Every structure is written in C-alpha cells, then in structure tokens.
Amino acid sequence: MKTKFLITSLLLIFLTSCSSDNDNNTDDGNEVPTGFMPLKNNNYWVYDVDSNLSSSTNPLTRDSVYVSGDTLINSETYKKIKSLTIPTGFFSSTLRNNGIKIDGSKLLMTGNFSFDFGLTTPINLGVTDFIFFNENATVGQVLSTTSGTINQTVQSFPLTIDYTLRSVYNGGQATYVFPNGDDYSDIKKTKIILNLKITTVQTLLGVTIPVTIMNAQDVIVSDQYYSKNVGMIYTSTVLNYQLNSIPNVTLPIPSTFNQTQTESIKSFLIN
C-alpha cells in the first residue's frame, strides 16, 4: 500500500511539473463555451477509485472534488478546485488546489503542487494553462505538449528527469454505460500521456559518469471520459515503468511498477 501511494504521488508530481508551450491556446472569440465541465461555484463530483490492489485491508477509496470559487492567477480569473479529503485518484489529485478555466471549447489548468511522497524532501512543481480537454478537436489531435527537465535529489541520488507531457483528443461516443446500468450521453475522450527518462551520476575511481536509471518510456497513460453538462465521468490510468539494473546500486524506488487505476463517477451536483 505504501509503495502504491509513493509511486502514484511521484508520477502525479511529474505530470504537473511543466508549463504548457502549446500553440492551441488562442482566443476563441464568440465560440460557445464548452459544457463538458461546468464550473459554477459549489459544483461537485464524487468518484469511486479502484487501484486494482483492493483487499479487506485496502478497500476501494472515494474522492470528492468541488468548485470552491474564483482565484486570480497572473491577473487571470480561474475556478479553484478543492477536495474534501486528500484524493487517491489520478484525476482528482491532478485537479486538487489548481485553477481551471474555460477558454471557448477548451479546458485549461494552472496551479502549483507540493508533494511529500515519503522521500527526503518534497517536490514543488507547477503547470500553466495546460489544455486537458477540447470538445472541438479532431481525433488524434494533440491539445497540449511540453518538454523539459527536472533536477531533484532523492536520498542522495541526484536525478535528472527529462519529461514530455501531452494531451490528445481521443474521439467521442454516443453513450457510456457503467456495469451497474448508469449511463451517460454525449461522450468526449482525452488521453494524457507522460513520457519520462531518468538519469543520475556515479563517481568511480574519482571519475563522474552519467548513468541512465530509466530509458525514455510512457509511465502514465490516462484515458478520461467527459459527458456534456456533467463533467469527467470515468478515467482509466495505467502507471507503468521499468528501471535499469545498476550494479552495486540500490535505488530508493522499486525497480518495476505496473498498476491500472479507475475512477468512476458516483454522484455529482451541477448548478
């Protein structure tokens, strides 16, 4: 259980570690604002979270996020998303304490994160106007993409993390039906993908050499389903990575990890 939260938090931190450099954040003029995530104050969404590790001692969890009101970031007005408790789901954790705004057919996220996931120091990162949804995109269209480098020391290991984060429109469908029979209509889908490469340095006989801890790979692939006039109703997120073996070196995180997590809407209120 501890490992699950450590790794999930680590990956979520990397996801929110960048400022978007996309070319799609333009003024939509008189375009009708999207209704795929209504952002009136006090709107809320409750999700059942299944991390596929459930047991009698590790049951399903429940997240609740809501629109708390306006917040001003860099002279721009956003709606601030808060949660009743610390969320365990990927989607809710990504939105928590961040600013969201509607820009025509798009949903943009801006915010700052500080996570302490059980290592020696927390990581503080941010994201600026990252487009995570666009109802008028074409299938396969990249909504936002950004790349960069994070330098972080974890338990005496100086890590260099090269990342590429992108969001992609993944098409739509007429309805989505849950196993319990609940159904939602007018569905649009977004895929969030995070690719990471991690390197460090080792000193041997007085010589410092770079060592690749993890080859570039997609460590997060998150499929998100949005229903018009409701919001995000279902997310399936795969967290997966494989570290390289380094002789005589014990890394502070597990060498391999694979987990599929789902978030299914339980209830909501739209004003």
Q: How many residues does the chain have?
A: 271
Task: Tell me the mean pLDDT in the region 123-143.
Answer: 88
Alpha carbons 18 and 8: distance in angstroms, whole number:
17
Is the model's pLDDT at 120 over the cut of 80? no
Residue 147 token pair: 């790349």
In the predicted model, is pLDDT for residue 25 greater than 50? no
For the cut 50, the answer to whether the pLDDT of residue 115 exceeds it is no
Please spell the DSSP secondary structure of 102-157, one letter per residue: EETTEEEEEEEEEE--SSSS-EEEEEEEEEEEETTPPTT-EEEEEEEEEEEEETTE
| Contact call for residues 268 and 36 (beta carbons, < 8 A) | no
CA-to-CA distance for 249 and 90, rounded, in angstroms?
A: 31
Of 108-117, 150-159, 230-239, 254-263, the least confident:
108-117
Q: How many CB atoms lie within 10 A of CB 199?
A: 17
What does the pLDDT look like over 34-65, one tens digit per residue?
999 999 999 999 999 998 754 445 668 999 99
Cα-trace Rg, the chain: 19
Structural tokens at position 260: 């599929």
Contact yes or no for 99/109 (Cβ under 8 A): yes
Cα→Cα distances 17→60, 82, 214, 217, 237, Å = 28, 19, 18, 17, 18
Q: Contact 211/202 with Cβ under 8 angstroms?
A: yes
What is the model's pLDDT at position 3?
A: 42
* CA 91 to chain CA mean position, Å: 6
